[in-house]
Chain A
Amino acid sequence: MPLTVTMPQLGESVTEGTIARWLKQPGDAIAKYESIAEVITDKVNAEIPAPADGVMSELIAPEGAVVPVGQPICSIETADSASAAAEPSAAAASSVPAQAAPPAPATPQTMSPTQAVQPAQTHSASEAGTAQLGPAPSEPLAAEVVGAVAETQTDTQPETQPQPPSPAPTGSSAEPSGGNGAAGYHLTPAVRMLVREHGVDLREISGSGLGGRVTKKDVLEYVQQRDAGPVARPSSAPAPATPSVVSTAQAAQPAPSPTSVQPQQSPVPFTAGEGDTIVPLTPVRKAIAEHMVRSRQTSPHAYVMVEVDMSAVSTIRDRERAAFEQRHGVKLTFLPFVARAVIEALQRHPTLNASWSDAGVVVKRNINLGIAVALEDNLIVPVVRDADRLSIAGLATTMADLGARARSNHLKLDEIQGGTFTLNNTGALGAVMTQAIINQPQAAIMTMDLVVKRPVVVSDAIAIRPVMNLGLSFDHRINDGLQATRFVTAVQKLLEGMDPSGTLV
């Protein structure tokens, strides 16, 4: 069978990805691990490697499509599948669906009576309910079921099939694949039994399990509803899962809608006025927009800002910068100093290194510091993992490396996920006051603005001091002004209290 490639899990809270660009077209030869597509999630471009050698068979998701994690994006014809297709009878006898089964009707397959009474037909009852349902590309749920269950059965004559689930021969033994990866969607023994027992049409059930799997609970709830009264037939348009079949745990997360392949649409129709131009939305732009809107809708943002006297930091930096640059080939900026102070303050104020959940505030054990990097057409937040283990020098070199690779688009996937707190060096662009939007699902984001020399009052005298505004946007669900201000002033005190004769270690 052709190998179905699904949208990978691109980050812990990521539920879907956008196909930015297909790097391979149908007919192109593919080597294992070769990149086949560029995918965009919240803020990052990632390339999907080919799981096997072969030839690109079909692009299931078009460019620009938003695909939930675990849903198919393309299929690859591998050497195995080619030989299998050449011997339909052998393939039918095996427990693997024989045909390529693109969402369009597959190659007709005729069934001989001998095949129809093969022992595998004991399983066919569960498929009988689905067999008569042709796969419709516009119905993703059907496509899922087809992908897993009914692949070769679309071509058996539906009208001759018994409607309810008497274990009649339905044709090939198109068994669900045993959860061995690519398709990712299978029927467990319990679900099969229930489907057979209750004569359930799997197409009518939205799977609440992993990768859209229909669970035992889904079937039982469906049967209960169906038997209780008339069930609203799903329209041909993909509908979001009904609440009754979405499990509570999932409801807590942004539930991936079963709309598996649907280009994102702007909610408000818009027409350009005279002289206006429309800049087409790049996938990156859409991803950023989606993330920003979601963050604002998710977290009630509140803000706090303090001024920091950067004299001590400046003294250290001025003294060390030449030697540091020579030794590490990296500029010594204020960023690693502030980062170090933020890390220490987070250790004392752990609820700022946290996430909201309905079960409670999740206080993170690790401090993975995200550093916002502004690119011409993108925003990336590479993550310094276990940042609390690094010295100022270590932070400087690590962040310089991540920043450089962010600019050259060479970050690895695990370098842009798992952040627990974000620091944004807005001063690098010249800003003196900023209110940032929280990088979900974190509790807060800190901005460090430009260090400017300003007259300040020190012991009733006016002195010239390098001053920096330090701003915090925080999720008011998790922390109140009290905690947030304590945290920000802790960073302030750590920076102001640095020993001017200190080192970077």
Chain B
Amino acid sequence: MAEKTYIEAIRDGIREEMRRDERVMIIGEDVGAKGGVFGVTERLQQEFGEWRVLDSPLAESLIVGVAIGAAMNGMRPIAEIQFQDFILPAVDQIIGEAAKMRYRSNGDWGVPMVVRSPFGGGVHGALYHSQSIEAIFAHIPGLRVVVPSTPYDAKGMIIAALRDPDPVLYFEHKRCYRAIKGDVPDGEYTVPLDRARTVREGSDIAVFSYGMMVHTSLEAVDRLAADGFSCEVTDLRSLRPFDREAIVASARKCGKVLIVQEANLAVSVASEVAAIIAEECFADLDAPVMRLGGPEIPAMPFSPPLEQFYLVTPNKVEAKLRELAAY
């Protein structure tokens, strides 16, 4: 077992699966010769050739459309969308076609495709390289939406996604790429695509989060731990379907709940988690369910102080936790 970065873990998972399964291929902008803008697919074209690691034109509808066709013809494609911000031209392919294929063909056809895309801000990416729009897809039946937050999960979940018979959207928080390191086993293993994970056990406040915000939340939780408050942190990992069982168990145990996400709150992942808790845990709540997320403005600004204003930081999580603790 070696310590690896999040980005290395994703690459390892893809490379190993490509070695094991020759149906696995990659299509996307700059994924070949350049190895991807962030370097996720570095050196894969050298190893597997340009027919398995395909550089595409700048047309997201094409990238996903080709991947859907390839998947339905027996391949296991990965469609890489360079930034989640640019996924919108491919929404018809993802929502209109891939998500509905199994249902409308009465189970005869599936789309075993993985759409990989980095999201999130805090890297001075400005308006078009910082968004978190995963909630759009979490709304759609027929899709799986997953967000790993650790290198271990990143590798195990990309392999599991490639083996899933239906479309999986695999979103990577770009701030995790090189900032988050962890032990990653060599060789083959999978992590279930529909299970949340308890990152930290606790009893006073249940914190739910995903992606980079798991780490942000942990930092705040540690500060409260110094004052004797014990928070339970759950990494949702799957945004569709939600692991209701894990969410309900932790909310019931603690009675106070904070949901942390980077995206703005209206009609979001946090909204759904709050709704699940409201439906299932009413009698166990000891405080209003609280949410923390970005402000309701159109995009993350470029100006560094304004970017900081937009972002959910450990200080903001801490303040919210203390508010809940004092309730």
Contact = CB atoms under 8 A, between A and B. Distances in A.
Nearest to B321: A249
B227 A189 contact: no
A147 B112 CA distance: 61
A217 B228 CA distance: 13
Given A216-B255, A248-B228, A359-B227, A193 B284 contact: yes
B282 A189 contact: yes
B286 interface: yes
A209 interface: yes
A207 to B, nearest CB: 11
A107 interface: no
Given A189-B285, A191-B286, A249-B229, A209 B223 contact: no
Interface string B309-327: 0000000000000100111
A252 interface: yes
A288 to B, nearest CB: 28
Q: How large is the interface on B (under 10, 10 to 19, 20 to 34, 35 or more residues)?
A: 10 to 19
Contacts of B153: none
B327 A209 contact: yes
Nearest to B283: A189
A118 interface: no
A191 B255 CA distance: 9
B226 interface: yes
Contacts of A248: 227-229
B226 A193 contact: no
Contacts of B283: 189-190, 192-193
Q: What DSSP secondary structure best describes chain A's contact surface?
A: helix
Interface string A165-196: 00000000000000000000000111111000
B204 interface: yes
B205 to A, nearest CB: 10
Contact of A250 (B204, B226, B287, B326): B326
A249 B322 contact: yes
Given A213-B327, A216-B256, A217-B286, 14 more contacts: A188-B255, A188-B287, A189-B282, A191-B286, A210-B327, A215-B286, A215-B287, A215-B327, A247-B229, A247-B326, A248-B228, A248-B229, A249-B228, A359-B223
B231 to A, nearest CB: 13
Interface string A189-230: 111110000000000000001100101110000000000000
Most chain A CB inside 10 Å of its own CB: which residue of B228, B282, B326: B326
16 contacts: A188-B255, A189-B284, A190-B283, A190-B286, A209-B327, A216-B255, A247-B228, A247-B229, A247-B325, A247-B326, A248-B227, A248-B228, A249-B227, A249-B326, A359-B223, A359-B227
Interface string B223-240: 100111100000000000
Interface in B270-298: 282-287
Contacts of A359: 223, 226-227
B203 to A, nearest CB: 9
B255 A190 contact: yes
B75 to A, nearest CB: 51
A190 B204 contact: no
A193 B287 CA distance: 14
Interface in B134-151: none
Nearest to B282: A189
Contacts of A249: 227-229, 322, 325-326
Contacts, number: 50
Contacts of B282: 189
Contacts of A188: 255, 285-287
A186 B327 CA distance: 11
Contacts of B228: 247-249
A100 to B, nearest CB: 29
Interface of A: 188-193, 209-210, 213, 215-217, 247-250, 252, 358-359
A217 B229 CA distance: 11
Nearest to A213: B327
A358 B284 CA distance: 32
Interface centre among B204, B226, B325 (most CB of A within 10 A): B325
Contacts of B325: 247, 249
Contacts of B227: 248-249, 252, 358-359
A230 B286 CA distance: 27
Most chain B beta-carbon contacts within 10 A, residue among A188, A189, A250: A188
B268 to A, nearest CB: 25
B324 to A, nearest CB: 10
B51 to A, nearest CB: 56
A193 B252 CA distance: 12
Most chain A CB within 10 A, of B256, B284, B286, is at B286
A250 B223 CA distance: 15
A223 to B, nearest CB: 14
A216 B229 contact: no
Contacts of A217: 204, 286
A213 B286 CA distance: 10
A247 B228 CA distance: 8
A224 to B, nearest CB: 13
B322 to A, nearest CB: 6
Contacts of A216: 255-256, 286
A149 B10 CA distance: 56
Nearest to A216: B286
Contacts of B223: 359
Nearest to B204: A217
A190 B284 CA distance: 4
Contacts of A210: 326-327
Interface in B214-265: 223, 226-229, 255-256
Given A190-B255, A217-B204, A209 B285 contact: no
A249 B231 CA distance: 14
Interface centre among A209, A215, A358 (most CB of B within 10 A): A215
A258 to B, nearest CB: 16
Contacts of B284: 189-190, 193
Contacts of A215: 286-287, 327
Nearest to A188: B286
Contacts of A190: 255, 283-286
A250 B228 CA distance: 11
Contacts of B327: 209-210, 213, 215
Nearest to A219: B286
A247 B325 CA distance: 9
Interface pairs A-B: 10 shortest CB-CB: A248-B228, A216-B286, A190-B286, A190-B255, A189-B283, A216-B255, A188-B286, A248-B227, A210-B327, A190-B284
A113 to B, nearest CB: 28
A247 B204 CA distance: 11
B12 to A, nearest CB: 40
B110 to A, nearest CB: 43
Contacts of B229: 247-249
A240 B101 CA distance: 66
Contacts of B255: 188, 190, 216
Contacts of A192: 283
Nearest to B288: A179
A391 B56 CA distance: 58
A190 B287 CA distance: 9
Contacts of A252: 227
